Amino acid sequence: MEIQNSQYQLSDGINPLDLCEQYDAPLYVYDSAIIQRQFHRLNNAFNVKDLKINYACKALTNVNILRLMRQMGAGLDTVSIQELKLGLRAGFEPQNIIFTPNCVSLEEIEQAKSYGVKINIDNLSILEQFGDKYPDYPVCIRINPHIMAGGNAKISVGHIDSKFGISFHQLPHVKRIVESTGMQVEGIHMHTGSDIYDVELFLNGADILLNVAKEFPDLKYIDFGSGFKVPYKPNDISTDIEEFGQRITERFNTFCQNYGRDLTLMFEPGKFLVSESGYFFVKVNVVKQTISNLFAGVDSGLNHLIRPMFYDAYHKIVNVSRPEGRKRIYTVVGYVCETDTFGINRKITEIQEGDILCFYNAGAYCFSMASNYNSRYRPAEVLVHEGKAYLIRERETMEDLLRGQVELGIFEKISTTEPVNS
Ligand SMILES: *Cc1c(COP(=O)(O)O)cnc(C)c1O
C-alpha cells in the first residue's frame, strides 16, 4: 500500500501534493489503513486463547493515533507518566495500560499506580521498595534475558551491558524479595530492543523468559515485548511475523499446559504498527552542485526527523513532484546548521527547487522525536482515514516557541516579531 510509483496516491486515493498544498511542507501524513493492516496481521499471527497487543506509544503519540489503536482493541504500553496520561485522555481503561519505565523514580511509579494501571518494574531496588509499600498491588517484572537482538547498539536493550530489566541470573534474589514482602507478581516481561531480524535469537530469549515465568504461580500474563523489524529499504529483511507467531504459539501453549492455566500472551509493538503508515513530505529549497556532491537541501532537518543522523537509519526518499524521468544521484540534506544528512547516494528522479520529496517509514520515532532545534516549528500532522484527510496537529507558531519562556523585566524590552520594513 505504498504511495504508487506513477501517480503517488495515498492508499485512499488522496494525492499528497494536494495535502502539501493545503497544509504546507514539511508535513507528516499517516495512513490509518496501514496501521489497521499491521494490527490485524499481528493479531492473526498467534493462535492462543488470550492475546493482548499493547501499542508502544512512544513511537507516535498523537492522541488520534492512540484513539485509533483503542478502537482496534489494542492496549497501551507507556514509558512515562505523561504517556500514561495521554493514554487515559484517549480513553484507554487503566487496566489496558501498562507502565514500563526505566530508571524513573519511585514517586512516578506511585503516581502511575494511583491511576490503576499495570506496573512493570525493571530493577531490584524499586521492586523491593514497591513490594514493601504496596504488597497488595500486583506487578509485572521486566527480565533481561541477555540476548543481543537487532543490529544497532543504540536500540538493542536486552544484552548484558544494558541498563534495562532485571537479569535472569538474579532470579533467586527476585524471589527472595517477592517472598519476604508478600507482593504479587502477575506478569513477566522482556523487551530486547528494536529490529530483531533473527527469530531464533528471539525464541532463545522467550525460552529464558518462560523458564523464569514458571517460578511464579500467580501469573496472569507473559509479555514478550517487541522489536519486530519492518522493511525500510527495498528487499530489506523484516521479521517474519507469521513464522514467528507460529513458533511462539507452540511454546506458549505448551507452557500454559504445564503451568496448568491459560495466561494472556502480550506484545508491545511500536514500529511494527506505525512505521510504514507514515510519510514525511518536505520541499526542496536548494539544489547545490559542489565539487564532490549533488545536494538537495530541503526545508527540514534532524529537528524533524533525527533517525538518519541518530541511528544511521535508512529512509527511502522519492521525488513526489516528478514521478517520471531521468534519475540522478543525490545527497539529501537538511537545513540545520550542522551536518544534517538524510540520505547519501540516492537515485532520485531529477530534482528541481520547489519539488516535494517524500520520506518513507515516517510513522515511528519520527514526529515523536522531533524538536525545536534551530528554533524551527515542528511540522503539522495529517491522518488519512477512510478516504478523508484530517489535520491532527497544527504546525507550530512563534507563540509555541515562546510559550513557557519567562521574559524578565530586568532587561530592556524592545520587542517586535514584525519585519523592520513592513
Ligand atoms: C520502545 C519500546 C517498545 C517498542 O519497540 P519497537 O521496536 O518500536 O516495536 C516496546 N516495549 C518497550 C518497553 C519499549 O521501550
Compute the distance from residue 155 Cα to the ligand 1 centre, in Å. Answer: 9
Residues 250 and 373 in one domain: no
Q: Which residues pair with 223 in a beta bridge?
A: 189, 266
Compute the distance from residue 275 Cα to the ligand 1 centre, in Å. Answer: 12
- The type of residue at 390 is Y
120 lines ligand 1 (CB under 6 A): no
In angstroms, rounded to a whole number, what is the distance separating the alpha carbons of residues 75 and 84? 11
Lowest mean pLDDT among 166-175, 208-217, 260-269, 408-417: 408-417
186 lines ligand 1 (CB under 6 A): no
The band of 197, judged by pLDDT with boundaries at 50, 70 and 90, is confident
In angstroms, rounded to a whole number, what is the distance separating the alpha carbons of residues 141 and 119? 8
Residues 372 and 386 in one domain: yes
**Do the domain assignments include residue 174?**
yes
Domain boundary among 224, 244, 269: 269
**Do the domain assignments include residue 7?**
no
Q: Is 337 a catalytic residue?
A: yes
pLDDT at residue 2, as a whole number: 46
**Do the domain assignments include residue 412?**
no
**Do the domain assignments include residue 130?**
yes
Domain boundary among 269, 287, 302: 269
- What does the pLDDT look like over 362-397, one tens digit per residue? 999 999 999 999 999 999 999 999 999 999 999 999
- What does the pLDDT look like over 118-127, one tens digit per residue? 999 999 999 9
In angstroms, rounded to a whole number, what is the distance separating the alpha carbons of residues 119 and 94? 11
In the block, residue with C-alpha cell 478502537: 71
340 lines ligand 1 (CB under 6 A): no
Ligand 1, atom nearest to 364 Cα: 8
Residues 185 and 259 in one domain: yes
**CATH number, domain containing residue 367:** 2.40.37.10
3-state secondary structure of 39: helix
- Ligand 1, from 61, 69, 77: best to mutate by most atoms within 8 Å of Cβ? 77
Domain boundary among 239, 269, 299: 269
**Other C-beta atoms lying within 10 Å of the C-beta of residue 279:** 28
227 lines ligand 1 (CB under 6 A): yes
The band of 229, judged by pLDDT with boundaries at 50, 70 and 90, is confident
Q: Is the pLDDT of residue 163 over 90?
A: no
- Cβ pair 138, 186 in contact under 8 A: yes
**Do the domain assignments include residue 47?**
no
Residues 395 and 256 in one domain: no
CA-wise closest residue to 194 among 162, 171, 167: 162
CA-wise closest residue to 141 among 75, 208, 190: 190
Say if residue 67 is exposed, middle or buried (CB neighbours under 10 Å; 0-12, 13-18, 19+).
middle
Residues 223 and 246 in one domain: yes
In angstroms, rounded to a whole number, what is the distance separating the alpha carbons of residues 313 and 78? 24
Q: What is the mean pLDDT of residues 111-117?
A: 98
226 lines ligand 1 (CB under 6 A): yes
Residues 184 and 282 in one domain: no
Going by alpha carbons, the residue nearest to atom 15 of ligand 1 is 79
Residues 384 and 255 in one domain: no
- Ligand 1, from 141, 166, 226: best to mutate by most atoms within 8 Å of Cβ? 226
- What does the pLDDT look like over 42-91, one tens digit per residue? 999 999 999 999 999 999 999 999 999 999 999 999 999 999 999 999 99
Q: Which residues pair with 278 in a beta bridge?
A: 30
Residues 240 and 259 in one domain: yes
Distances (CA, A) of 222 to 169, 188, 212, 213: 18, 5, 10, 8
Compute the distance from residue 299 Cα to the ligand 1 centre, in Å. Answer: 30
pTM: 0.94
Residues 297 and 231 in one domain: no
Higher pLDDT, 6 or 398: 398
**CATH number, domain containing residue 264:** 3.20.20.10
Compute the distance from residue 60 Cα to the ligand 1 centre, in Å. Answer: 11
Going by alpha carbons, the residue nearest to atom 2 of ligand 1 is 56
The domain total for the chain is 2
Residues 244 and 362 in one domain: no
In angstroms, rounded to a whole number, what is the distance separating the alpha carbons of residues 131 and 81? 20
Ligand 1, atom nearest to 59 Cα: 8
Strands 278-289 and 27-31, by their bridges, are antiparallel
Residues 280 and 157 in one domain: no
Average model confidence (pLDDT) across the chain: 93
Q: What is the mean pLDDT of residues 150-176?
A: 79
100 lines ligand 1 (CB under 6 A): yes
- What does the pLDDT look like over 295-339, one tens digit per residue? 999 999 999 999 999 999 999 999 999 999 999 999 999 999 999
Higher pLDDT, 147 or 92: 92
Distances (CA, A) of 350 to 21, 227, 291, 295, 324: 21, 36, 18, 12, 9
101 lines ligand 1 (CB under 6 A): no
Q: Is the pLDDT of residue 198 over 90?
A: no
Higher pLDDT, 294 or 9: 294
144 lines ligand 1 (CB under 6 A): no
**Do the domain assignments include residue 170?**
yes
Distances (CA, A) of 156 to 199, 238, 367: 15, 16, 21
Tell me which of 57, 140, 337, 358 is the catalytic residue: 337
Strands 341-349 and 327-333, by their bridges, are antiparallel
Ligand 1, atom nearest to 229 Cα: 7
**Do the domain assignments include residue 293?**
yes
355 lines ligand 1 (CB under 6 A): no
**Do the domain assignments include residue 45?**
no
Residues 356 and 264 in one domain: no
Q: Residue 348 is part of which domain span? A: 16-26+275-402
311 lines ligand 1 (CB under 6 A): no
pLDDT at residue 326, as a whole number: 97
Ligand 1, atom nearest to 269 Cα: 9
